[in-house]
Amino acid sequence: MTDRRHAAWPIMVWLLLVVPVWGGAPSLGAAGTLQLKGKYEELNEPSSHTPGKVKLVEFLDFYCPHCHRFDAEGLPILEKEFGSKLEVTMVGFPVIQGKLPTVFDMYEQAKSMGKGNEMKRAIFRTIHQDRVHIFDRLIREKLVKEVGLDPVAFEAGLASGKPARAFEEGRKWGERIKVQQTPTILLDGNIKVEQIDPENLKTIIQSILDADKKR
C-alpha cells in the first residue's frame, strides 16, 4: 500500500490463500449489533447499507502502483464473486507527492458524463503501462475519444470547476475518516478496510450479506 510516507506495499498479502478472520466490533450501524468476519475497522459514521447489496468505495491515487494492482487484479475478483450485490465507486485521494490533480478532475468529469469506470481504466493504463504522467490537452483528447466522449464537451466540463470541487469533497471525506494509505476501502459508509487482499474483502462482504439473511 502507499501512504503519505510512501510505505512499501506488503506484497505477501496478495499471496495469502486464507486470511485470518477476526470478530469485529458491532457493525452496520442501524442494522443492529452484528459481528462481521474479517479484518476491518468500524467507524463512527452513518451506515449506507441497503439489504442485499454492499456499497464499496475505493479511496485511491491514480499514481499509486498498489491502487493500479488492486483495480486490475483485486476488484475483478470481488465483482465476479458478488456481481450485482456489489456497488463500486471511486474517490480520488492523492498520496504521491508532486503530481498535478488533473487526472482526478478528468475522472470526475468522465463520471459525470457516464464514463467514470472507462476513464479510470484508461488513466491507470496511461500512467502505469504507457509511463505518461503529464496529461496535457492532447493526451486528454486522446483518452476522451478512447472512452467515447466528446472532447469539446469534456473540456468545457473541466473548465467549469465542478470536477475539481467534486474531487476536493472526496479528498476531505478521506481525511475525515483518516485514510492513511491507498488503496483503502470503505464498505457501506462505516466499515474501513486497510488489509486490501481479495480474501479479506470477500470475507467481510459475504458476512454482511449473510447478516441480511438472518434478519
The answer on pLDDT for 201 being more than 90 is yes
CATH topology of domain 2-7+24-213: Glutaredoxin (3.40.30)
Burial (CB count within 10 angstroms: exposed 0-12, middle 13-18, buried 19+), residue 194: middle
Give the amino acid at 10.
Answer: P
**pTM of structure:** 0.82
Q: Give domain limits for the chain.
A: 2-7+24-213
Per-residue confidence (pLDDT) for residue 46, from 0 to 100: 93
In percent, the amount of the chain with pLDDT more than 90 equals: 80
Which residues pair with residue 155 across a beta bridge?
none
The answer on pLDDT for 2 being more than 80 is no
Contacts of 198 (CB under 8 A, 6+ apart): 73, 74, 77, 78
Cα–Cα dist 149/173, whole Å = 28
Q: What is the pLDDT of residues 141-168, one digit of tens each?
A: 999 999 999 999 999 999 999 999 999 9
Q: Quick one: pLDDT band at residue 11, thresholds 50, 70, 90?
A: very low
The answer on pLDDT for 22 being more than 50 is no
The answer on pLDDT for 3 being more than 70 is no
Per-residue confidence (pLDDT) for residue 44, from 0 to 100: 93
Are the C-beta atoms of 34 and 27 separated by less than 8 Å? yes
Are the C-beta atoms of 63 and 30 separated by less than 8 Å? no
Mean pLDDT over residues 83-96, rounded? 96
The answer on pLDDT for 170 being more than 70 is yes
Mean pLDDT over residues 106-112, rounded? 97
Per-residue confidence (pLDDT) for residue 15, from 0 to 100: 35
